[in-house]
Amino acid sequence: MLKELITSIRFIAVLLLLCCVLYPALIWVAGRSVFRAEAEGSLIERDGKLIGSKVIGQGFSSPHYFHGRPSAVGYNASGSAGSNLGPTNPALFARMADSVTSASVLDRLSTATIAFDRVTASGSGLDPDISPENARQQVARIAKQRGVDVQTVQTLVDKHTAPPLLGIFGTKRVNVLMLNLALDDELSTTGIHEKSQGRS
C-alpha cells in the first residue's frame, strides 16, 4: 500500500508540473511572441497616452463621435456583466425607452427605424462593436458636426466594417474606437487622446 501511495504522489507531482507550470508557461511564451498585442489586451496608444482597448467598449458622448452600445456596467471592465433584467422588468423597459428617446433626438430617427444595438446592451456590457446599420444612422450627425459631406463619413464607416469571422460566424461589425480614431486622423479635430479617458 505504501508503494501505491508513493506512486500516486509522484503521479500527482508530474501532473502538477505539466498542467500548472509547463503548460501555462508555454502558452504565455507563445502568446507574448506570436500574439503580443492581443496578449496585452489589444491596447491603443496615441502620443504616448493609453486611450483604450480595441476589444473593450467605452462610452462616447460627444456628437462629434460615433456612440457605442449601452452598457449595463457603465463600461467598467472590472465588472463585466449584463443587467440580468428580464424582458418584463420595468427597469429594463425604462432604460431602453431612454435609449430610444436619446437616439431619436440625437440623430432625428423615428422609433421604428432605430438599430437594435442602439437600445440593447451586450451580455458583457463591454462590446466594442456596433452594427453597420447603427453606424449609418449616426453618419449625418457626425458629418454635420465636422463640417464634411455625408459620403466622406460613410466611406470611413465602410472602410472600418469588418466581415463575419471566417466569413460565416457572427455578422458584420464596426469597431467604435477604431472608427472614432479614424475620424480624428482623417477629419482633423481635437483627438480622443486629448480627451479625458477618450469618452468625450
Going along 42-183, which residue ranges are E strands?
Answer: 43-46, 49-53, 129-130, 161-162, 173-175
pLDDT value at 198 more than 50: no
The pLDDT of residue 84 is 78
pLDDT tens figures, 129-144: 999 999 999 999 999 9
Q: Is 0.85 topped by the overall pTM?
A: no
Q: Where are the domains of the chain?
A: 1-40, 42-198
Rounded distance, CA 25 to CA 6, Å? 27
**Residue 188: pLDDT band with limits 50, 70, 90:** low
The pLDDT of residue 150 is 94
pLDDT tens figures, 170-184: 889 999 999 999 998
The pLDDT of residue 169 is 86
> Cell digits for 80?
463585466
